[in-house]
C-alpha cells in the first residue's frame, strides 16, 4: 500500500522533513508524473488549501497544470501551517476511488460534514479527510523522534511549542502525536487490510 | 442567478468543465462557515488560477 511505503521512507528522514522530499516520493509511489502547486488569494478563514484532480484534458487548467493540482493561499498561513496543509492535501493522491469526491452530491455532502460532522457515520470522502490528517502527521514526524519527544514531554523536559519548532508543524497538532491511540491509528493506515 | 454551490458543482464536475476525479480541502478557521461561503472561495481560487493570477511553486524552501 503506497502510504505504507511513504511512511517507511519518512522514517529514514530527519526532522524537519522537507516538503519536496515527501512530494517527490508520493509522486514516485503513486505513479503521478506531475503535481503542481499554485498560490492564489484564498480566505484562510474559509479554506486553507485544496487538492483537485481534473480529468478533462481539454480544459485549460488541466492542460496547463496536468491532472494534479494543490492550491494554497498566498497569505494567511505561517510556514508551519502551510507545510502541514500541503502535506495533508498531498496525501489525497492516495485516496481510493470510493473516497474520491467525484460528484456534486459528494462535494456538497463533504462541505456539510465539515460544518456539522455526523456523529454516527462519515461519508467515505470525509473519512479520507480524517485519514489524510493523520497520514500527514505520521509522515512529518518519524516514530523514533515521536517516542523521544514523548519521553521528554512526559518528564516535562520539552513543551509542545519546542516540538512544533523542531518538526515545523503547527503547535495545535502536536498533542495529537501523543494520544494513546496514535500508534494504533498509524498501524491502521499502513496496514488497512487489518481493519 | 446560480448559487456559488451550483456554480462550483458545474465548474468542478461537468464533463465539459474540469470533470474532477477528486477534490479535497483543508477547511478554514471559521467554525460556522457555510457551504456557500466555502464554495465561493473555491470558485474564486479556480477563477484566479484560470486567469493566470497565481504564483507557481516549483519547489518549497523548507531550509
pLDDT tens per residue across span B5-26: 999 999 999 999 999 999 999 9
In this predicted model, what pLDDT tens digit does every residue of B25-56 receive, in sequence order?
Answer: 999 999 889 999 999 999 999 999 999 999 99
Rounded-to-integer distance, Cα A71 and Cα A85, Å:
10
Angle, vertex CA A116, rays to CA A110 and CA A121, nearest 5 = 70
Range A108-125 average pLDDT = 86
Q: Which three cell numbers stand for residue A191?
A: 496496514
Q: Is A24 on the interface with B (CB under 8 A)?
A: no
B31: distance to nearest CA of chain A, Å? 7
Tally of CB atoms within 10 A around A188: 15
In this predicted model, what pLDDT tens digit does every residue of A130-157 receive, in sequence order?
Answer: 999 999 999 999 999 999 999 999 999 9
* Cβ within 8 Å, pair B20-A104: no
Between A115 and A174, whose confidence is greater? A174
Rounded-to-integer distance, Cα A97 and Cα A102, Å:
9
Q: Could you tell me if A90 and A68 are in contact, meaning their C-beta atoms sit under 8 angstroms apart?
A: no
B19: distance to nearest CA of chain A, Å? 5
Rounded-to-integer distance, Cα A180 and Cα A73, Å:
33
Which residues 34-73 of chain A have a CB within 8 Å of chain B? 36-56, 59-62, 65, 67, 69, 71-72
Angle, vertex CA A169, rays to CA A153 and CA A166, nearest 5 = 55
Rounded-to-integer distance, Cα A129 and Cα A99, Å:
9
pLDDT band at A194 (very low <50, low <70, confident <90, very high): low
pLDDT band at A119 (very low <50, low <70, confident <90, very high): low
Rounded-to-integer distance, Cα A167 and Cα A84, Å:
10
Q: Which three cell numbers stand for residue A78?
A: 505561517
Closest in B18, B22, B49 to A101, CB measured:
B22
* Cβ within 8 Å, pair A47-B45: yes
Using only the alpha carbons of chain B, give its radius of gyration. 14
Q: How does DSSP assign A172-185, residue by residue?
A: GGGGGGGSTTHHHH
Amino acid at each position: 500500500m503506497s502510504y505504507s511505503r511513504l511512511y517507511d521512507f519518512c522514517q529514514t528522514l530527519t526532522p524537519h522533513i522537507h516538503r519536496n522530499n515527501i512530494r517527490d516520493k508520493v509522486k514516485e509511489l503513486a505513479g503521478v508524473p506531475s503535481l503542481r502547486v499554485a498560490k492564489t488569494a484564498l480566505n484562510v478563514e474559509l479554506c486553507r488549501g485544496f487538492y483537485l484532480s481534473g480529468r478533462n484534458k481539454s480544459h485549460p487548467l488541466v492542460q496547463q497544470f496536468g491532472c494534479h493540482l494543490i492550491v494554497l493561499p498566498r497569505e494567511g498561513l505561517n510556514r508551519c501551517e502551510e507545510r502541514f496543509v500541503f502535506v495533508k492535501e498531498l496525501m489525497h493522491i492516495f485516496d481510493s476511488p470510493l473516497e474520491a469526491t467525484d460528484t456534486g452530491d459528494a462535494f456538497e455532502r463533504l462541505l456539510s460534514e465539515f460544518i456539522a460532522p455526523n456523529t454516527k457515520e462519515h461519508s467515505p470522502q470525509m473519512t479520507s479527510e480524517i485519514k489524510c490528517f493523520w497520514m500527514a502527521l505520521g509522515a512529518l514526524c518519524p516514530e523514533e523522534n515521536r517516542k523521544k519527544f514523548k519521553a521528554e514531554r512526559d518528564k516535562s523536559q520539552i513543551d509542545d511549542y519546542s516540538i512544533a519548532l523542531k518538526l515545523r508543524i503547527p503547535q495545535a497538532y502536536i498533542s495529537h502525536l501523543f494520544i494513546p491511540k496514535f500508534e494504533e491509528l498509524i498501524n491502521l493506515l499502513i496496514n488497512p487490510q487489518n481493519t | 442567478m446560480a448559487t456559488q454551490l451550483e456554480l462550483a458543482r458545474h465548474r468542478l464536475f461537468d464533463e465539459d468543465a474540469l470533470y474532477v476525479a477528486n477534490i479535497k480541502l483543508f477547511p478554514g478557521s471559521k467554525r460556522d462557515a457555510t457551504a456557500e461561503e466555502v464554495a465561493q472561495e473555491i470558485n474564486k481560487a479556480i477563477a484566479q488560477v484560470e486567469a493566470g493570477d497565481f504564483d507557481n511553486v516549483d519547489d518549497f524552501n523548507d531550509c
